[in-house]
Structure 1
């Protein structure tokens, strides 16, 4: 099969012919029809993710496609089924899985991290019975691929972890794919959304998807499109716009600056949700956390069994994940797109068979 491969962390990815995967026992091989380019893929390529232990490597973790083959023991799925899957592939049998918390499975695998991913014509997943999600017949593969990581992560972060209620103020720091998804989902829930980003194009999309206000971070404050590090001024602007601070704030980028600004921009007893990856240790304004009795919450994807509620919201047009996709590219363009992550607003979709 054709796949995007890198031989060393930070080295230029290239398209080459590699051996296609075989379905593991209990697992499946998916013929990839669409796969999203995500900032998590950039972190993996840079060597920030300890799960990538063997090189060369194929990135990619949010995808949709058609079941090509199934392993021994799989009874609910067959070749030809249209599917997607969470980026966390759960084992289904550990204590977390038995409690319904497959997104924090103790023995999870992740395509594109623990093994080769979906920037390829085929990808293998483990425990197909637990992890595959059947697609509605009318859903396009590009729409479905956007659900596996960013949209599903934002959906659970807003609805279940952040517990957003109508008329609450929600601040979203970083308006990439997951941030724009959070804007759209929070607005659909009846919240008032403040979007924060360095990119005018990203903020324009945020307005289109329901943001009531936008806070533009200048390059001097942010240090670049992909690595905004806003300071106390941004938090103060959020508190001003929201008349005292956001009820819920989401760091959808993942940097020490955005994390701190998210916390500082909360009102008393507010809720901070960390979605963006933060490599290494990060200093936090814990004095404010204590004095204002803030909640600090992590959110890590969404289990396959929770997808029906989200799919129903998509079906009734309460949310429109397809609107987040702003460009589609082939495998040959994926390496350059990975190197320049964040330079194009919205979601970039890779079509391996283009």
Structure 2
């Protein structure tokens, strides 16, 4: 591994390797890029570990045409060390260990001051945003000066990246960075959905639709809260073994059923689960998740990314049965305020991170890591820069 940072870079344009996407579905090209120094209220970070999330996969495929912008550096799950800070940054300094976050927290806007939301007015997640907030320009460029667009406030598929101050979270330097990268998205999103959005109670029943990294993080969160029954739902039978190792008490493969999925779950949970979580990005699964909850109080939390133009598959009158549905972004965590303490809980073993990292590869093999995710063989492949 290269040195953590080089003092000679401070305030200068530096050249480093990045995995650049030049068009939808094309292999990422490992090439040299130029990275500008951080401007006012920005930090430049040396990325040490990064992994691939399904949101990266969706962007790579170009499934949302409105979010297409090329060339672009994807990536939003990572951990690294601050190389330099821009004017006005007072809560971080060179050498600090940080986690990039795709939905930031400025700390000053009406939303950041409210306990009712974790969505910042200026730095909330926006897949259409391709430049920095400060001046609307890119901090990446090719060697001949062509701008390279940013992704989800982070762009971590690069040896160095520039972040708005609101999108970098300082963590305990004793925390293992190779595991802390998971808190940038998947684990925080799933555990937070169970803890913050749903507020799962001890003894309650849960159904999780889609057992990828986010779904299994929901299971970890529900297990930590003392849920009595955690039903995992997936069409991949291999997910049963992994799921049971991470908190799932029961497993259902919809392909094995002769009755509607929600009817089966209602039978298993004596009338329906207290909480269901849709983590697959499938609208049919969302409807089944909604109908699998108990009448009167069932809560469905939407976590999956839905690039399809299809609308919610619900009749308005179905909401009068007492069931509720709500979306959750980043598990309801306020990144800069709450993530440091969540990282401490993970270090204490309240949430186990080890099972999420199924593969490790050098950064240069990023296309192989994408293929592992597409083939359903990995939860998270940790890339070492």
Q: TM-score, normalised by structure 2?
A: 0.82
More displaced stretch, 231-240 vs 63-72: 231-240
CA distance in 1, matches of 2:259, 2:29: 41
Residue in 2 aligned with 1:95?
110
Show CA shifts across 1:148-167 (max 9, x none).
11111112211111121011
Show CA shifts across 1:3-60 (max 9, x none).
1111112222221111124213101011111112100111112224577453101110
- 2:34 is aligned, of 9, 12, 19, to 19
Is residue 2:273 matched to residue 1:273?
no
Provide structure 2 residue ranges, at least 5 long, that are not aligned to the other structure: 1-15, 131-149
CA distance in 2, matches of 1:101, 1:72: 31
Larger Rg: 2
Residue in 2 aligned with 1:80?
95
SS at match of 1:200: coil
Residue in 2 aligned with 1:311?
343
In the superposition, relative to structure 1, how do residues 321 and 289 fare at CA in structure 2: closer, same or farther (>3 Å)?
farther
Is residue 2:148 matched to residue 1:133?
no
Show CA shifts across 1:327-351 (max 9, x none).
1122232224324534214222222
More displaced stretch, 298-307 vs 339-348: 339-348
Is residue 2:187 matched to residue 1:151?
yes
Show CA shifts across 1:92-132 (max 9, x none).
33321232567322222659863240011112110x2x443
CA contact (8 A) 2:104 2:119 kept: no
Residue in 2 aligned with 1:227?
none
Residue in 1 aligned with 2:282?
255
In the superposition, relative to structure 1, how do residues 53 and 70 fare at CA in structure 2: closer, same or farther (>3 Å)?
farther
Residue in 1 aligned with 2:8?
none
Is residue 2:196 matched to residue 1:160?
yes
CA distance in 1, matches of 2:161, 2:170: 17
Is residue 2:362 matched to residue 1:326?
no
Superposed counterparts of 1:220-299, under 5 Å: 233-268=260-295, 269-279=297-307, 280-286=309-315, 289-299=318-328
CA contact (8 A) 2:191 2:219 kept: no
CA distance in 2, matches of 1:285, 1:111: 26
CA contact (8 A) 2:183 2:343 kept: no
- 1:56 is aligned, of 71, 89, 92, to 71
Count of aligned pairs: 340
Q: CA deviation at 1:197?
A: 1.2
Residue in 1 aligned with 2:156?
118
CA contact (8 A) 2:372 2:378 kept: no
- 1:214 is aligned, of 239, 251, 255, to 251
Q: TM-score, normalised by structure 1?
A: 0.88
Provide structure 1 residue ranges, at least 5 long, that are not aligned to the other structure: 222-230
SS at match of 1:94: coil
SS at match of 2:34: coil
Q: Say what the alpha-carbon RMSD is for the aligned residues.
A: 2.4
CA contact (8 A) 2:373 2:379 kept: no
CA distance in 1, matches of 2:82, 2:117: 22
CA contact (8 A) 2:220 2:351 kept: yes
CA distance in 2, matches of 1:319, 1:216: 26
CA distance in 2, matches of 1:235, 1:21: 52
